A and B are shown apart, each in its own frame.
Chain A
Amino acid sequence: MKRRGPLAFCLRLIFLAALVGLWQLVVVALDMPAFVVPAPTRVAYALYQGIGSDIYTTHLYVTVVETLLGFALGCVLAFLFGSVIAMSRTVEYYLYPLVVMFQAMPKVALVPIIVIWFGLGMSSKVVSAALVAFFPLMVNTIVGLRSADEDRVNLMRSLAASRWQIFRMLQLPNATPYLFAGLEIAMIFALIGAIVAELLGAEKGLGMYMQSLNFNMDVAGQFSILFILAILGLTLNGLIVLVRRRVLFWDRSRDTDVSSVSKGDVL
C-alpha cells in the first residue's frame, strides 16, 4: 500500500466517525427498537458495562485459550502431515483423495458432530478450532516445501547433501513465507472454529455468551461481543505478523500476498 501522510490518516478517522454518526442518526430518526438495531451509544454502553463487570473477561479468557490451543494443535498436525505429503509421493498418492475431499467440504459443518463427540467443555472447542485451522496451513506447507527452486536443489545435491539436509537447510527456510501466510489464516480460522463450537453448545466463552444474549434479545450486547471478537482477531493476527517480520526479514515479497495460495480454502 502507498504511504500516505497524517492528513489522510485524520480523514480516515473522520470518515469512520461519520459512519458511526450516520448509524446513530438513522437509528434515532427512524426510531428503531434496540432489539433490531441498537444505536452505537447503546453498544458502547453495553461494552462499557460488560468489561466493567468482568463477565466479558471470563468468557474472553476461555475463548482465547481454546483458540490458541486449537491453533497450536492444528498447526503442529498440519505441519507434520504437510511435510510428510510434500516429501513422499507415495504418501501423497494415497492421502490425496482424502485431502481433496476434506478441502472441498465446509469444515464448520463438522462442528456439531465434534460437540457430540467431545462434549460441552473446552475440548470440543479446541478440536473444532484445530480442525478448521489445519487445512490452510497444511496446504501451504505442501506448496511451500515443494516450491524450492530446481537450481537450489541441484546445488544442495552437488554438495552431496542428504535428503534431511536438503529439507532442513533449503526446503524449510524456503517455505517460511508460505508457512507464515498459512499461520495467519490458520489463526483466524481457529478463532472461527472455536466460536462456532461455542455457539452450538458450551459452558463458557464469548460464543456461548453471545448465544445467551441472543435469547434475551440483547442485540446491543451481541454487537459489543462482535466488537470484542474483531479486536481479538486483529490482535491474534498481529501476533503472527510480528513474528513473521522478525523471521522473514530476508523475504522481499513480504508485503505481497502469498496467502493467495490458500484463499480458495473453504471453512
Chain B
Amino acid sequence: MEPIVDPAAHGTFRTRSGGMIAVERLSLTYGRGASRVVALRDISFRITDGEFAVVVGPSGCGKSTLLKILGGLLSPTSGVAELKGQPITGPRRDIGVVFQTPVLFPWRTVVGNVMLPADVQGLDQTAMQQRALELLGQVGLGGFERRYPRELSGGMQQRVGIVRALLNDPAILLMDEPFGALDAMTRETLNVELQRMWMQRRITVLFITHSISEAVFLADRVIVLTPRPGTIGDQFEVDLPRPRTLEAMNTERFGHYVRRVRSALSARGGLE
C-alpha cells in the first residue's frame, strides 16, 4: 500500500489527522482497448472534518465516477482514496449518498423510503422511525410521511432522498448533483435549506455540481474538475461568511470566486 504523501508537501492542505477524505493520485479508466475511457487521471485532494467541499465541472468530466469511488461502488484503477485514514474497500455504513435523481422506491411510503437504511442495516426500528419523522418535519415534509413518492413534487422527492441519507447520522455525506434536475428557483431554496441543515450538523460533505454559482454558494472548498480526462484544474477555499444568503450572490467577492472557477474551466477548454 502506497503511504499517504507527507502532509507538508501539500502546502495549504491540513494535516493528515484532520483529513476526513484523502484522495491521492486517483485514476479510473473504464473499459479497455478501443472503448477505453479515462474518466479520472491523477486526482489528489483532501477534505477536512466538517468541511463542505464542492466538486464542480462540466458534464462527463468524471464527477459521478469520483463519487462512486468514494462511496465504495467502484474501485479505482490506480491511486488511493481514504476515509478517516482507511482505504475505501467497499460501501460503508457511515456514509450517506444522495444521487443525481431521488431514487425512491415507489412501493414504499415517504417514511418507508427514509427508513430504507434502517431496514438494510438492521437498526432499531422505533428509534429510527422517530428520527425519520423528525427529519422529515425539519425539511418541511411533515404531513407527507404516509404519502407515496408519486404524490410528491420533484423538489420534495429530492428532500426525501437527502433525509434518507441523513437517517443513520453519517460522518460523510456524498451528494451527486442532487438538485441538477430541478428548476432554478426550487434549486436555490434547497441550497439555502441544505446550508442550514449542514450548519446544524457540521458533517463532512462532498457535493457535486455543474453549476458554478451553486458551487461557490455552498462551498468551503471548491475543487474544479476539467474534462477528458478528468483532472483537477484548480482548488481553493471560499471565504464567505455563513449563513450565506441568495443576495450575497450579487456581491463582488462572490463574483470573484465565480470568475476563478470559470477561468480554471476555460483554461482547460472545459467551457466552450
**Contact residues of A with B, CB < 8 Å?**
149, 151-152, 154-161, 165, 169-170, 173-174, 176, 250-252
Contacts and interface: CB of A to CB of B under 8 A. Distances in A.
B101 A151 contact: yes
Given A151-B99, A252-B150, A158 B107 contact: no
Given A155-B116, A169-B105, 12 more contacts: A157-B91, A158-B73, A158-B91, A159-B93, A159-B116, A159-B117, A159-B120, A159-B121, A169-B120, A170-B105, A176-B107, A252-B106
20 contacts: A149-B103, A151-B101, A154-B68, A154-B103, A155-B99, A157-B73, A158-B71, A158-B72, A158-B91, A158-B95, A158-B97, A159-B93, A159-B116, A160-B93, A160-B120, A169-B120, A173-B107, A174-B105, A250-B106, A252-B106
A155 B103 contact: yes
Best-buried of A151, A158, A173, A252 by chain B (most CB within 10 Å):
A158
Given A156-B120, A158-B73, A160-B120, A151 B103 contact: yes
Given A158-B73, A165-B120, A250 B103 contact: no
Contact of B92 (A151, A160, A165, A251): A160
Interface string B75-117: 0000000000000001111010101110101110000000011
B262 to A, nearest CB: 30
Contacts of A252: 106, 150
Contacts of B119: 169
B173 to A, nearest CB: 12
Given A160-B120, A165-B120, A173-B107, A155 B90 contact: no
A160 B91 contact: yes
Nearest to B119: A169
Residue from the set A149, A151, A160, A252 with the largest chain B CB neighbour count within 10 Å? A160
Contacts of B103: 149, 151-152, 154-155
Interface residues of B, number: 24
Contacts of A149: 103
Q: Is chain B's binding surface mostly helix, strand, loop or mixed?
A: loop
Nearest to B100: A151
A152 B105 contact: yes
A113 B267 CA distance: 76
B148 interface: yes
A250 B150 contact: yes
A133 to B, nearest CB: 26
Nearest to A152: B103
The 5 A-B pairs at the shortest CB distance, nearest first, are namely: A160-B91, A158-B97, A250-B107, A159-B120, A161-B120
Contacts of B99: 151, 154-155
A158 B92 CA distance: 7
Contacts of B121: 159-160
Interface in B99-153: 99-101, 103, 105-107, 116-117, 119-121, 148, 150
A149 B148 CA distance: 18
Contacts of B117: 159
Contacts of A154: 68, 73, 99, 103
A87 B101 CA distance: 26
Interface string B43-75: 000000000000000000000000010011100
Contacts of B120: 156, 159-161, 165, 169
Nearest to B117: A159
Given A158-B95, A165-B120, A250 B148 contact: yes
A97 to B, nearest CB: 28
Nearest to B109: A250
